[in-house]
Amino acid sequence: MTGFTDGEGSFGIYFAKNSKYQLGYQLKYEFTIALHKKDQALLEKIKLYFNDVGGIHKHGKESVHYRVSSMKDISVLLNHFDNHPLLTQKRGDYILFKRVIALIQAKEHLTSDGFHEILSIRASMNLGLSDSLKEGFPNIVPSPSGQERPQVEDQIVSDPNWLVGFVEAEGCFYIDIAESREVAVGSRVQLRFKITQHNRDGQLMESLVKYLGCGKIYRKSSVPVVDLEVKNFSDIDQKIIPFFNKYPLQGVKKENFEDFCKVASLIKSGAHLTPSGLGEIRRIKSGMNTQRSVPR
């Protein structure tokens, strides 16, 4: 659950204009996970894991959200993440989120000083204050008295269950088919396992390479992202596939992994070097990832 939240979870503090409140704003807080509707069953598992708190709602045509927004239910989340800490820099947002919850519980948000302190904390979270809040509160900046976004230094992967959850959120099992004159069928086939993150979590990605015992890190100068990629077939066959067979994925991505394994078996048998085998691999690829319509 922690690994998946590191990839897909969001801790949010929001301010909605409302004249019924003394300070002119209603303060809202929530934990959210947003997924494609194909993975609604996974959200239902998450809801059960958190003692059935929160709710699952459709959001547009293709998205479903799991949302926890009551103080009583939030306490269930705090208990989990205090005992199973996040590993990405998202933990900084969680720590600030928890500070805001404590201020709300103490009724400090009903005072001018407390309200402005929460605004200051919010300025350090996620993408900072919205344009409308910046316009309404031009003097609010991340607090110089300890409210800056905490930096996560201990980004060491040691738990296979965290990794499974993180890959469920951020990993990709991909089949690359490219034209090649080096093989008789005219196309080469390569399996790729990939995880992409913001470069602020570069240390975590380096730790993942050590934990998996394979893969390379690629950084892009044009965008602030870092990729971990495994494309050596022996590493795929002897390390990646055995790991996820031992620690199974839970969502639709499990089906992509199963198709990934089918292609690995075809490659091991040499079928990818035959027209019929290549055709079968193309057929499998056509139903994976974004092309997968509904769960089987």
Q: What does the domain layout of the chain look like in residue ranges? A: 2-136, 160-291
Measured in Å, how far apart are the chain's first and last C-alpha atoms? 23
Q: Say what the pTM is.
A: 0.92
For residues 228-266, one letter each, b for 16 or more C-beta atoms within 10 angstroms of the residue's C-beta and e for the rest, the string is bbbbbeebbbebbbebbeeeebebbbbbbbbbbbebbeb
Per-residue pLDDT, 294: 58
Indicate if the pLDDT at residue 144 is higher than 70: no
Q: What is the mean pLDDT of the chain?
A: 93
Query: In whole angstroms, what separates CA 159 from the centre of its chain?
Result: 16
pLDDT band at residue 141 using 50, 70 and 90 as cut-offs: confident
User: Within 10 A of 174 (CB to CB), how many other CB atoms are there?
Assistant: 17
Residues in the chain: 296
Side chain identity at residue 282, one-letter code: R
Three-state secondary structure call for residue 156: coil
Indicate if the pLDDT at residue 153 is higher than 70: yes
Per-residue pLDDT, 147: 54
Note the pLDDT tens digit of each residue in 194-218.
999 999 999 999 999 999 999 999 9
**Quick check: 7 and 90 in contact, CB under 8 A?**
no
CATH superfamily, domain 160-291, is: Homing endonucleases (3.10.28.10)
How would you classify the pairing of strands 63-68 and 171-179?
A: unpaired
Per-residue pLDDT, 296: 47
CATH of the domain spanning 2-136: 3.10.28.10
**Quick check: 150 and 95 in contact, CB under 8 A?**
yes
Indicate if the pLDDT at residue 50 is higher than 60: yes
Indicate if the pLDDT at residue 91 is higher than 70: yes
pLDDT band at residue 143 using 50, 70 and 90 as cut-offs: low
What is the mean predicted confidence (pLDDT) over 145-157? 79
For residues 94-126, one letter each, b for 16 or more C-beta atoms within 10 angstroms of the residue's C-beta and e for the rest, the string is bbbbbbbbebbeeeebeeeebbebbbbbbbbbb
Indicate if the pLDDT at residue 291 is higher than 90: no
Min mean pLDDT across 18-22, 51-55, 68-72 is at: 18-22
Indicate if the pLDDT at residue 284 is higher than 90: yes
Per-residue pLDDT, 61: 87
What is the mean predicted confidence (pLDDT) over 280-291? 92
Per-residue pLDDT, 146: 46
Are both 2-136 and 160-291 of the same fold? Answer: yes
Min mean pLDDT across 138-147, 263-272, 281-290 is at: 138-147
Min mean pLDDT across 23-27, 97-101, 119-123, 291-295 is at: 291-295
